[in-house]
Structure 1
Amino acid sequence: MPAVSPESQASEALPSRRRRTPRGGRHRGDESFLLPPGSPALVLAVPGSARRPGAEIAAELVRLIEIEHTGQPARIGHLEGDEANLHNVLAELPRTEDGPAAVVVPLSTGPDPVMDSAVRAAVAGSPGHALAAEPLGPHPLIAEALHDRLADAGLARADRIRLMTMVTAASGFIVATPGDATAVRQAEVTGVLLASRLAAPVFTASLNDEASVKAAAEQLRAAGATSIAVAPHLIGPEPEANLVAGAAASVGAGHAAPLGAHPALARLAALRYVEALSLALSE
């Protein structure tokens, strides 16, 4: 029987980046991985219950992750309710003797203490070994996705890659994020990236605090913005998705849709999965 080299063993331990013929169109994934047989499950941790509006977004993202990025089945684990609950999903996965059974990726645009704590508790209570990955953002791909949603709503000029000539309808932007002042500071990273893409001023605000949104609008108008657009810094299953329209109306602004099942989020989920797995295998 031929000997197996250490290099071959290493190549089977980690996902390998794969090269594909580039797809035409709006989103061309460049973070695709081939997962070897027996790889841990990618479990997308989703806020709320399976019956909450917006839950279908996770199903579409899982489909994109499987088809475009990993080639392996992915799963959804909700943080509330009994249906497809994260604790139950992890408990049903087959146990492994020499590695994690799952990598849990939070479906979140940035660090969220409540969600992160729930994910860690589920991972710690899993009967099989599981890993907790980082949230999807902050990352430049989040800013790219926000830009796309603003352009879809006619509120920002589309980037040159999309070959569109839409006239910019807003001259200042508010990145409105769920959470408190800490969440706002974390979202400022995305705001800076978005400002660079739009070549326009961007301020961040909390969707949970109407005064925060109004203060951001006042800053934009003081900086010379004549029209304002709100970019929701959320995906859709979050309860704060219901606050977007009211927050925009309170400052006389238009608003984009939440990020939803944007292909960039599927790319980020696959990336966070591989980062967490690679870190665990290197320790």
Structure 2
Amino acid sequence: MRPTLVAVAHGSRDPRALPAASALLDRIRELRPRLDVRLGHIELNRPLLGEALREATGAAVLVPLLLGRGHHVKRDLPAAAARATHLDTRVAAPLGPHPLLVEALYERLLEAGWVPGAGTAVVLAAAGSRDPEAAADTRRTAVLLSERLGGAPVVPAYASAAVPTVPDAVRALAARGHHRIAVASYFTAPGRFAAQCAASAPGPASAPLGDHPALARLVLRRYDEALARQRTSPPSPPSPPSPLSPLSATALEPATA
């Protein structure tokens, strides 16, 4: 028996969030039909993570449906795993940064009507965190997305806890002469922050990543990677940014390829 894959969503009061997470898990089951795949939430939705772990047996891998390092990944998930003493439990790395995640962002932008060209720029709208490593992960994703978009500037911005905000990033890009600005939703599911960021878009705003096929493949990749790590050890980023990378620029400096 392979360890159970427990996908850990944050949870949201938005009624669309739970169906979005369930649809993603259905895609994962299609890719690996014999794998036991379950859902747990950090808060706000059932089943909560503790409930999901109590119902599991043998071994489990917690795969956070979260896009970077932060308190939930570093503290909450390892603590929940440690409390599940009846399980051999490991914690996977967050989903980002990763090229599969960037591919999902790119295709969601195309679905929203983004078209490359002069004056085009993108705001990568994320939830935000006070953890500097979470911000570094988002900036790294902005660099990768800029490369995928053929060099179009991509500025990371946040709904809370970090700067710049999405409206500030939009204004900064407009001041630099970018008159076609899209917002890329860096959220796995619909929710208040995703809606708030989309409402600030002067142009196209992509949908949350949801059940994009690339996201399902990435969840399975994180699951497989975690099987080689020590039990409940805090995950490390798969591709830490180089000290000489564009990430050393200021938060409002657009990432370009």
TM-score, normalised on structure 2? 0.79
Checking the alignment, whether the CA contact within 8 Å between 1:174 and 1:216 is kept in structure 2 is: yes
Match 1:124 to one of 62, 74, 82? 82
Trace 1:98-247 onto structure 2 (pairs within 5 A). Answer: 101-126=59-84, 127-157=86-116, 171-180=120-129, 182=132, 183-199=134-150, 200-208=152-160, 212-237=165-190, 239-247=192-200
Deviation at residue 77 of structure 1 after TM alignment: 0.9
* Corresponding residue of 1:72: 35
Residues 217-267 of structure 1: CA deviation (Å, up to 9, x unaligned): 23323443121000011111554223123332xxx3431111111111111
* Corresponding residue of 2:26: 63
RMSD between superposed Cα atoms in Å: 2.6
Q: Counterpart of 2:181 in structure 1: which amino acid?
A: I
Checking the alignment, whether the CA contact within 8 Å between 2:63 and 2:91 is kept in structure 1 is: yes
CA distance in 2, matches of 1:93, 1:121: 16
Q: Counterpart of 1:54 in structure 2: which amino acid?
A: A
CA distance in 1, matches of 2:22, 2:123: 28
* Corresponding residue of 1:43: 6
Identify unmatched segments of 5+ residues in structure 1.
Answer: 1-37, 96-100, 158-167
Q: Counterpart of 1:175 in structure 2: which amino acid?
A: L
Q: Cα–Cα, structure 1 residues 219 and 116, in superposed 2: closer, same or farther, change >3 Å? A: same
Checking the alignment, whether the CA contact within 8 Å between 2:70 and 2:129 is kept in structure 1 is: no
Q: Counterpart of 2:69 in structure 1: which amino acid?
A: P
Residues 259-278 of structure 1: CA deviation (Å, up to 9, x unaligned): 11111111111011111102
Deviation at residue 188 of structure 1 after TM alignment: 1.0
Q: Cα–Cα, structure 1 residues 141 and 275, in superposed 2: closer, same or farther, change >3 Å? A: same
Checking the alignment, whether the CA contact within 8 Å between 2:11 and 2:17 is kept in structure 1 is: no
Identify unmatched segments of 5+ residues in structure 2.
Answer: 234-257
Checking the alignment, whether the CA contact within 8 Å between 1:69 and 1:267 is kept in structure 2 is: no
Q: Secondary structure at the match of 1:45?
A: strand
CA distance in 2, matches of 1:230, 1:119: 30
Residues 28-70 of structure 1: CA deviation (Å, up to 9, x unaligned): xxxxxxxxxx110001011116984311122111111121146
Checking the alignment, whether the CA contact within 8 Å between 2:14 and 2:192 is kept in structure 1 is: no
TM-score, normalised on structure 1? 0.72
Checking the alignment, whether the CA contact within 8 Å between 2:96 and 2:137 is kept in structure 1 is: no
Q: Cα–Cα, structure 1 residues 80 and 69, in superposed 2: closer, same or farther, change >3 Å? A: same
CA distance in 2, matches of 1:238, 1:151: 21
Number of aligned pairs?
227
Q: Secondary structure at the match of 1:102?
A: strand
CA distance in 2, matches of 1:82, 1:105: 17
Q: Cα–Cα, structure 1 residues 170 and 102, in superposed 2: closer, same or farther, change >3 Å? A: farther
CA distance in 1, matches of 2:42, 2:16: 14
Q: Cα–Cα, structure 1 residues 245 and 42, in superposed 2: closer, same or farther, change >3 Å? A: same
